[in-house]
Structure 1
Amino acid sequence: MSHPLRGQAALRNVAIIAHVDHGKTTLVDQLLYQSGQYREAELDKLAGGQHGLVFDSNDLERERGITIFSKNCAIGYESLAGDRYRINLIDTPGHADFGGEVERVLTMADGCLLLVDAFEGPMPQTRFVLQKALAQGLKPIVVINKIDRPDSRPDEVVTEVFDLLIDLGADDHMLDFPVVYASGKQGFASLTPEGRPADMRVILEKIIEEVPPPHGEPDEPTQMLVTTIDYSDYVGRIAVGRVIAGAVSDRQRVAVIDRDGGITKQEIAQLFTFDGLGKIKTDRVECGDLCAVVGLDPIGMGYTIAAAESPRPAYAVKIDEPTLHMLFRVNDGPFAGREGDHVTSRKIGERLERELRSDVALRVEPGDTMEQYRVAGRGLMHLGILIENLRREGFELCVGKPQVVTKYEDGKKLEPVELLVIDVPEEFENAVMSLVGDRRAQVLKMGKKSSTSSYTHLEFSIPSRSLIGLRSRLLAATQGNAIVHHTVLGYEPPRGAVNLRSNGVMLASEAGQATAYSMDALDDRGVFFVRPGDQVYEGQIVGENCKSDDIVVNVVKAKKLTNMRASGKDDNAQVRPPRDMSLEACLEYIDDDELVEITPTSIRMRKVMLKEADRRRESRRSASASLV
């Protein structure tokens, strides 16, 4: 017989921490399915027809196979002892670039599931997020996932997790962590590596046993910290967070305290609590529980919803500073306005301002002109996701080369330095060492991944600026076999100049349609980024030169027509397939005097100054200035 518990005793708030592609989203899907709240077909429907992707509801998340935006769900569970519990599961991003999301959502949790691949073991992003969790006193329940892999090594992985916790300064309480062995794909979990039960009940039991009930002050006046902002076309902004004192009631008169301490008196229009993957309306949410509040404006990340008669601000969430910045500017190219709906600087500025409301790790400042904005984020993927979202929303813009954010301490300039981890087959070890060594990296660790593995495990300390463009070159040098991850270590004095691009580019000399005839004639000059039939304009980067300098080429030249029959088959031009450049590949590739032009249907690279005469004049002016 079930015994419903009341208040905080019946609640468990748990964050799920894992490295990219270690299977946390699949595991959550299985827990939802096995809890009986959803049939498998319903989960598929919620996932847009893609089973195992319920939490990855964003299009970019499904395409890239990663979690970008944090979500949470609630599972109703009856324990083996017959007590009823509600477990709030919080899915966190696994990539360090989305650390702003991680830091916020961990404030809603009282414990965490540390999910680790049974072969790969703890990885850089595991370390990054776990460090944040330990700083907030969250004890981990270690789940060794993918135990059904033929190359799994669970005992070694548990030892690696123990070593990682020691490195992060965990105390004895944290080091005494429980271990569960699971397969999210197969849907089982066990307390031993050999066990193969029919369900994952042991994970839920461990959560009940190891994660404490939510802490808080139920007898104090209302206090709720807003950690996430949702949006609805019908009701506007929705504040999501955790009640840390008192309770929140529907239609309650509250004081909303912003991050600077400003107070506005408002009334809650609607109150929701989480149920399964959705929300249900409620009259009251008790201390320790998560909820969604409708009807407050202004409201934002880090705001406090407090009792109107005695407003007290909640503790602030410390967010790591950005490490990379880029210049966003209006698209002023010859094709501007052809493909996008939003092309003005005002529209771009409004959209960036809207992004700031939900992305606490983002920074936006005015640029040198009215048409520019300097946007800083946690990494290239962080900014790349933002740009891709803008593109899909119909924006046209140009962005400049990513630059690291430096800072000064005691009058000394410091730059961000990252931990770079590479797993690579033995035969490519020298190629990796050569590439990384040219970028001012220092070797920290080197050895076999495991006694039976053919992969070498390499760890480096490397300047953040040296990582720009490195991933694509590593994959090319290792025939796609390198596994590359990185996370921020701290700040150090600059290690010296780094040449990130050794080759020059081929620039179109005039506008028109690229022809196979002209591209075939230029085949020996390098590799093209465009195809025959593509529209190009003067100053557009159409390929990579095989030499170190930039050259101007005519890719729109057509074969002259005559009334003489050709004796050969010179009209059958053969053009090599071009190099496909993704958005992030283009951002990594461009130099200081170049831009990436982004529209809803195209991604092009170009020079800042499109005309060759202007570029030569600027080059002479720079040379004269350097002599002076």
Structure 2
Amino acid sequence: MLLLVDAQEGPMPQTKFVLKKSLELGLKPIVVINKIDKPAARPTEVIDEVFDLFVALGAKNDQLDFPIIYANAREGVAKHALKDESSDLTPLFETIEKHVPPAPQRLDVPFRMQPCTLDYDNYIGRMGIGRVYEGKAATGSPVTIKSPDGTARTGRITKILVAEGLRRVEIPEAIAGDMVILSGIPDIDVGETITTDPDADPLPAIAIDPPTVSMTFGVNTSPFAGREGSLLTTRHIRERLEREVETNVGLHVKQVRGKDAYEVSGRGELHLAVLIEAMRREGFELEVSRPQVLMQTVGGERREPIEQVIIDVPEDCSGRIISLLSQRKGEMVQMQSKKGHVRMEFDVPTRGLLGFRGEFIIETRGEGILTHAFMGYAKHKGHMPGRTRGSIISMENGEAMAYSLWKLQERGILFITPQTPVYEGMIIGESSKPDDMNVNPIKNKKLTNVRASGTDEAMKLISVQKMTLEQAIEYVSDDELVEVTPESIRLRKKILKGYERKRSEK
């Protein structure tokens, strides 16, 4: 196992996550310090940080004695020591050959394999992908599938595939040590043991982190529904989500009772945003809600997911970032200052990170680096302030006019440009005040047959803030939705009519 670490940034949250899993499996990593050509590279200090991380994760003595390789992957160069001369990756390959023992190939025992990931084919169905632990099995072999909970069922291998470059090639037999793709078991899942011996012991289960965030996916119900997409119905959305669950093991889907909508749970808003973007590019139209953090109740105590956050920012931005995360119930664990930059580590509730990335980019002027990873569940941190500004909402259907937007830009930040189609209930900007503001963006300047004096003020529009999908998901409140189509991302109120919103608030 190669542990790749940036020579400037050092260990990141994802480094800790991957290393923890590797150490638990008893692996002995080879540490590769990459990007040693960076001007601000600090390989010696990074090695100390990596060693401290090994110790913090409870590495054994033999795991602490890890070999080190210095690399510049872009140039294809690796070295045993910084002062060495090298022109290729030979030192890395030699280290792998020396320190990574070949996997034992036991062929005289029953076949055992454990899928570590899944794939899906419209003709073959669900397929399990993983390494054959021991034994061998041929196409057509009857097998027993053992779940981590102790239950067992039978099946039959219909196809065995291996990857050759970008192609998949069918082979007649899988033997110990092979990375294979098995089909024929329609309900196979990650962590189950596939064996030819019904009495064989199952392999240790693979732990899968639970979902921490959920969103509601529904049919697009805006007045513009059907204009830009081709996949519009509940059936289309249901089939697409069911297909995604076949391979995306961290995703959970269930139908919302009494509604043509689905609650989709995943490991963070980015996990769900990737799915939404993929569906959008496939031609789907849908509306999605604000992400909701999934809580747990243990022994009568309410608990929420906590994430480890590592931030690298210029020194002059650190105070503001600390203040922002403190407001979001974040607790600082560590802080280091080096060469004009500050690295800070926080433990922050997942709900405190919703909408934080946009503020972070603004406060650091795009110079900061933000990474985070799931840690576990902890006691609920209490109330957390939400968005402090209201929305500017269209109260008419039509095309936005430059004259109206020119007047409205004094009242907040606009999200649309002139000639943008709008509808009643669509959010066209952010108000400078806490309350929502209903406006008429399609009103044009009244024309008369009287010649203008020439002193009319020129209309100058401030550049608008175009929302990306991630920004839109972070921005919306509980009473708002994101309308996603192949060509547009719009924000809207759940209740479009203004008088109906007022009635619901009473």
Common fold: TM-score over 0.5? yes
Q: What TM-score, normalized by structure 1, do the two folds share?
A: 0.77
Match of 1:143 in 2: 32
Match of 2:256 in 1: 367
Match of 1:117 in 2: 6
Cα deviation, 1:443-494, whole Å, max 9, x if unaligned, reads 211221x3xx210111222211111111110211121122111122222222
- Name the stretch that deviates more: 350-359 or 140-149: 350-359
1:266 and 2:152 are equivalent in the alignment:
no
Match of 2:336 in 1: 447
Shift of 1:313: 4.7
Shift of 1:256: 4.9
Shift of 1:573: 2.6
Say if 2:120 and 2:246, in contact at 8 Å, map to a contact too: no
Distance 1:202 1:275 in 2: 26
Matches within 5 A, 1:74-473: 112-215=1-104, 217-232=106-121, 235-256=124-145, 261=151, 263-269=153-159, 271-307=160-196, 313-448=202-337, 450=338, 453-473=339-359
Distance 1:562 1:286 in 2: 86
Corresponding letter in the other structure for 1:307: T
Distance 1:592 1:294 in 2: 43
- Name the stretch that deviates more: 542-551 or 458-467: 458-467
Where 2:246 maps in the other structure, the secondary structure is: helix
Question: Closer, same or farther in 2 for the Cα pair 1:215/1:585, shift >3 Å?
Answer: farther
Where 1:207 maps in the other structure, the secondary structure is: helix
Corresponding letter in the other structure for 1:144: I
Shift of 1:272: 2.8
Corresponding letter in the other structure for 2:474: E
Cα deviation, 1:140-160, whole Å, max 9, x if unaligned, reads 100000111122111111111
Say if 1:526 and 1:543, in contact at 8 Å, map to a contact too: yes
Corresponding letter in the other structure for 1:249: A
Distance 2:115 2:21 in 1: 19
Say if 1:253 and 1:268, in contact at 8 Å, map to a contact too: no
Matches within 5 A, 1:542-621: 542-568=428-454, 570=456, 573-620=459-506
Shift of 1:217: 4.5
Match of 1:495 in 2: 381
Say if 2:142 and 2:154, in contact at 8 Å, map to a contact too: no
- Name the stretch that deviates more: 201-210 or 524-533: 201-210
Distance 2:193 2:91 in 1: 36
Distance 1:521 1:568 in 2: 19
The alignment yields a C-alpha RMSD, in angstroms, of: 2.1
- Name the stretch that deviates more: 490-499 or 526-535: 490-499
Corresponding letter in the other structure for 1:268: T
Q: 5+ residue gaps in structure 2?
A: none
Match of 2:407 in 1: 521
Distance 1:211 1:570 in 2: 78
Distance 2:322 2:43 in 1: 30
- Name the stretch that deviates more: 537-546 or 209-218: 209-218
Shift of 1:521: 1.1
Distance 1:291 1:395 in 2: 33
Say if 1:432 and 1:477, in contact at 8 Å, map to a contact too: yes
Question: Closer, same or farther in 2 for the Cα pair 1:352/1:291, shift >3 Å?
Answer: same
Cα deviation, 1:205-244, whole Å, max 9, x if unaligned, reads 2222212322465322222222223344565544321112
Distance 2:445 2:162 in 1: 69
Say if 2:329 and 2:348, in contact at 8 Å, map to a contact too: yes
Corresponding letter in the other structure for 1:482: G
Say if 2:115 and 2:129, in contact at 8 Å, map to a contact too: yes
Where 2:176 maps in the other structure, the secondary structure is: coil
Question: Closer, same or farther in 2 for the Cα pair 1:299/1:569, shift >3 Å?
Answer: farther
> Identity percentage over the alignment?
43
Question: Closer, same or farther in 2 for the Cα pair 1:221/1:204, shift >3 Å?
Answer: same
- Name the stretch that deviates more: 128-137 or 287-296: 287-296
Count of paired positions: 505
Where 2:393 maps in the other structure, the secondary structure is: strand
Say if 2:157 and 2:182, in contact at 8 Å, map to a contact too: no
Corresponding letter in the other structure for 2:30: I
Where 1:584 maps in the other structure, the secondary structure is: helix
Say if 2:214 and 2:266, in contact at 8 Å, map to a contact too: yes
Cα deviation, 1:565-584, whole Å, max 9, x if unaligned, reads 32236485321111011111
Distance 2:203 2:23 in 1: 20
Distance 1:317 1:243 in 2: 15
Where 1:398 maps in the other structure, the secondary structure is: strand
Distance 2:248 2:200 in 1: 26
Distance 1:195 1:566 in 2: 79
Q: 5+ residue gaps in structure 1?
A: 1-111, 621-628
Say if 1:265 and 1:308, in contact at 8 Å, map to a contact too: no
Shift of 1:527: 0.7
Corresponding letter in the other structure for 1:459: E
Shift of 1:201: 1.7
